[in-house]
Amino acid sequence: MTRVTSKPWLVLIRLSKKQRRNFLLGALGIAIGLGVWLALVYFKLVPKYALPTPVELGKLWQRESPRLLYNIWLTVMRALCGFALGSIMALFVTFIRSWIPVIDTFIEPIVQIFKPVPPLVLSPFMIIWFGSNNKGVITLAIWGSFFLMLVEGHEALKATPLVYLRAASTLGESKLGMRLRVMFPAAIPHLIGAMRITLLLGINLVILGEFSAAAGGIGEIIVHGYRFLRPDLLFFGVLVGIAVAVVLDLLVRIISIRLRRWV
């Protein structure tokens, strides 16, 4: 674990020797990737329509940055909305399930049926039902986040160590208190892990949804580049998609350092 400070973002600056080495190695990896890219395009090892040169990318940015930024924003906003709404709904249902056993019994088979369905299979329905717009794409992300978080949340609550329940119950803890003061806090490390996976799934689903929705976003940039043989657009879309995933994941990690400093 990295050291905990009152300013969590400092972990990015204050690195140990080992972390600095890892960081340098990571940077080296990226540099090699860049090198390969440059070699491929300038020595014409791949056809021109398959990879853009950095100069072409620069020009693309110069020409169309407002539109590109707007599309990135669309994707990020959709992913965050889908992730947040889906997770909150799932945690709410998890709470209800833990409260009322009958509901748990009722929900379990539904979860078992829908959990293995790849959310993407449902994307045509989402778009037909909710439209080629924010609603359709976000609903897809909500769907995926919801089921993932539902399964994880349920597992996490069930795994509450008996000793904590015991400590609280001998003090006469109420049913509500048991959940709010014991079960959910105890589940935090597990839930944070689940949140990271859920957020990445959310980004994935949004971009994939955008492939077919024609409602803007990074997904549409990629499809556009592909359809009109615009390697600059295609490449830009892919790079930005990766960057968004990496940055959002990093943000969740930084936020979670505080939440799980007791681990």
In the DSSP assignment, the letter for residue 122 is G
Question: Looking at 62-70, 132-140, 166-174, 200-208, which segment touches another protein (CB under 8 A)?
Answer: 166-174
- The answer for residues whose C-beta is within 8 angstroms of residue 233's C-beta and 6 or more apart is 60, 221, 222, 224, 225
* Shortest distance (Å) from residue 197 CB to another protein: 22
Buried b (16+ CB within 10 A) or exposed e, 53-88: beebbeebeeebeeebeebbebbbebbbbbbbbbbe
Question: Is there binding between residue 172 and another protein (CB under 8 A)?
Answer: yes
How many residues touch another protein (CB under 8 A)? 20
Question: Is there binding between residue 188 and another protein (CB under 8 A)?
Answer: yes
What is the number of other CB atoms lying within 10 angstroms of the CB of residue 154? 20
Question: Is there binding between residue 168 and another protein (CB under 8 A)?
Answer: yes
Q: Which of 169, 239, 246, 258 binds another protein (CB under 8 A)?
A: 169
Report the residue number, 105 or 169, with the smaller CB distance to another protein: 169
How far apart, in whole angstroms, are the C-alpha atoms of residue 235 and residue 249?
21
Question: Is there binding between residue 166 and another protein (CB under 8 A)?
Answer: yes
End-to-end CA distance of the chain: 9
Question: Is there binding between residue 185 and another protein (CB under 8 A)?
Answer: yes
Question: Looking at 108-116, 167-175, 191-199, 248-256, which segment touches another protein (CB under 8 A)?
Answer: 167-175
How far apart, in whole angstroms, are the C-alpha atoms of residue 107 and residue 111?
6
* Shortest distance (Å) from residue 167 CB to another protein: 4
Question: Is there binding between residue 257 and another protein (CB under 8 A)?
Answer: no
Binding-site ranges for another protein (CB under 8 A): 163-164, 166-174, 177, 181-182, 185-186, 188, 261-263
